[in-house]
Structure formats: structure tokens, C-alpha cells
Amino acid sequence: MSRMHGASPSPADLPAEAAPLVIDVHGLTKSFGGTKVVDNIDMQVAEGEIYGFLGPNGSGKTTTIRLLCGLLTPDAGEGTCLGYDIRTESSHIKLKTGYMTQRFSLYEDLSIRENLSFVASIYGLAHPRKAVSDTLAKLNLENRAHQLAGTLSGGWKQRLALAAAIMHGPKLLLLDEPTAGVDPKARREFWDEIHMLADGGMTVLVSTHYMDEAERCHKICYLAYGKLLARGTAEEVVRSSGLVTWAVSSASQRRINRLAHELEGRAGVHMIAPFGATLHVSGADRAALETAIAPFREEKELFWREAAPTLEDVFIHMMKGASDNFG
């Protein structure tokens, strides 16, 4: 049973001595071409945590993950990963890290078993045939072991890529947009696998654009233009945003469409987001927001209720206040 269903506590709920830090870094900074893509980031990740990185394209998510585990050397900052110095002992970190990229990078003209055998040889595993067999069983790939990778659906390719990333028994798993382009069922099954790996003590860093996936992580951080804007559990990030949201619905879609235009630009209204026949109207100042919507709350065809802000509401709000590092 995975933790997403509440069957067991996350590392954040455990005593500090039960969940040692796998990553502990301070002041990480990295520039490319004169632009800071990671700007003075501090981060701590405990053993067995699934830590989600969110943010728009170009926000520094992938670069940050690579810095955290020694795959890139920072221009400034220091810290440890898996007990090793990220600057001077990165080779040790790499041996204990699994990396799954967004793009399928295995051989499509080889079978699942052949691909895993090749990966086992790359890692120089002592008992490669056993490692392949164990990995096939662990990821429920045995019945498809002889199928060519190129004939697999997106979900099965994803499962094969995960198998290749974990077959050498890493302590840390890096996932870069791992579920892009797969169907909802495959995404859910993939996350079940990730939670089982975390239950076994593996630490997972994952970048994603999907808000429902962010909510499956034990902790998340939000990056924009190289800066860390928020971090904590999903509930903590929403709560600390200070955002107030009202949901308004109507039997008339036309009225909702007009209302969105009428609210646009009013003092106190920072964001308007449509969800079908419902609008989320949000702002950081409760009094100003309620003043802005007051005239419309008298309309009988509009139904108003205060709603908890969603992660999407919070992140769009954060983006509006962030400064572009390419500006």
C-alpha cells in the first residue's frame, strides 16, 4: 500500500533521528551564459522522501536537481548528498544515483530483457542475470520480457525506463518529467511504484508540471526564474501563500464568461481561473477581494462560496510576482 493513500507516515512525520538527511545544501548558484538559472538555493531532503520540483519551463528545476546530486558543479554554494561532498566526491554520488529522463533513451530495437541486460553490463553488476530477473519481477515486466521496446506503449516504456534506472540499487532516484505523454492510468501505476520504492528507503527527486502529482509528493518546492519561492508539504505551501479564493458558478456559461471580463483588473483581484462553469477568483488581500466581488454577490444567478486555494492557484499567483531572470 502506498503512502499516497495514507497507509504509512511520510518521513516528514517521523522523528528526525528516523529520517537522516540525504541532501543538505546551502547557497547553490549556477549561471549559464551570464544568466543565473539557479540563485542561492538552500535545500534539505530526508531519506525516503519524495521531493517534488515544480515551476515553469526554464525555471531551473532540472539544473537544481543536477546540482543537488553532484551531476553539475555549482558556481557557488556547498553541501552533501548521500554523505558525500557535492563538489569533490560527485563520482561516489553518481554510483548510488538512478536517473530517468523525460525522453525514452533505451534501444527500441532491443527487447525489454536485452535492454536491461545491456544496462546491467554498463553498471558492471556482479550477477547480471539475477539482477535482470529480479528487476523484471519487481516492475511486473516478466510477461513482456521478450517484447521489443519500440512496440511498447508510453506507459510500458516508462516502466522499462524506471526498471533501468533502479536495477543497480540506487539510494537516490532522479525523475525528470517522468510521466509526460502517458495516460492517467499509467501515471497512477507509476506513482504507486514510486511510493513503494520510497517505502523501501529510496529518496526520490522528481520534476513535474502536474499538480496532482505534486500532491502525491511528501514535500514540494516551487522554482521560478532560478529562485526558490516556496517549499514544504502541499498543504503548507497553500497555507503560507496567504491567498484567498472565492468560487463562483452559474447555470449560465455566458454569464460566467462575462463575469470573468468584468472582474479583470479590479483592485484586489489578482487572478481569475476558469474551471468549466466555475471561476476561481483569488487575491492576497481578503478585504480588497471581498470589496471587488461584493457587487456581483447580489446577483441571483451567481452562486458564490469561499474555497480553499488549489496548488495551481498558488503557483500562478507566485508567478505573477516573480522576476524573469532573462529580462
pLDDT (0 to 100) of residue 322: 57
pLDDT (0 to 100) of residue 1: 33
Helix (H, G, I), strand (E, B) or coil at 29: strand
pLDDT (0 to 100) of residue 256: 94
Give CA angle at 77 (76, 82), nearest 5°. Answer: 135
Q: How far is CA 124 from the centre of its chain?
A: 31
pLDDT (0 to 100) of residue 111: 96
Other C-beta atoms lying within 10 Å of the C-beta of residue 254: 8
pLDDT (0 to 100) of residue 182: 79
pLDDT (0 to 100) of residue 17: 54
pLDDT (0 to 100) of residue 5: 38
Cα–Cα distances in Å, from 20 out to 68, 72, 155, 215? 16, 23, 33, 23
Strands of the chain, DSSP E: 21-32, 35-46, 50-54, 76-81, 84-85, 97-100, 172-176, 203-207, 219-224, 227-232, 244-249, 271-275, 278-283, 303-307
> What is residue 111's DSSP assignment?
B
CATH for the 3-238 domain, from 3.40.50.300, 3.40.1280.10, 3.30.530.20, 2.60.40.420: 3.40.50.300
Closest Cα to residue 152, out of 192, 91, 213, 104? Answer: 104
> What is residue 102's DSSP assignment?
S
pLDDT (0 to 100) of residue 266: 94
> Is-contact 51 205, C-beta < 8 A?
yes
| Dist CA 62 CA 318 (whole Å) | 19
Q: Name the stretches of the chain with pLDDT < 70.
A: 1-18, 321-327
DSSP string for residues in 276-320:
TTEEEEEES-HHHHHHHHGGGGG-TT-EEEEEPPPHHHHHHHHHH
Going across the sheet that includes 97-100, the strands are: 97-100, 172-176, 203-207, 50-54, 219-224, 227-232
pLDDT (0 to 100) of residue 13: 52
**Residue/partner pairs of 12-20 with CB below 8 Å, 24 or more apart:** 12/46, 12/49, 12/218, 12/219, 12/233, 19/46, 19/47, 19/48, 19/49, 20/46, 20/47
- The backbone region for 254, taken as left when phi is positive above 0, alpha when psi lies in -120 to 50, beta otherwise, is alpha
pLDDT (0 to 100) of residue 101: 83
pLDDT (0 to 100) of residue 4: 37
Domain boundaries, the chain: 3-238, 244-308
pLDDT (0 to 100) of residue 323: 54
pLDDT (0 to 100) of residue 6: 38
Fold of 244-308: Alpha-Beta Plaits (3.30.70)
pLDDT (0 to 100) of residue 8: 40
pLDDT (0 to 100) of residue 55: 86
pLDDT (0 to 100) of residue 16: 44
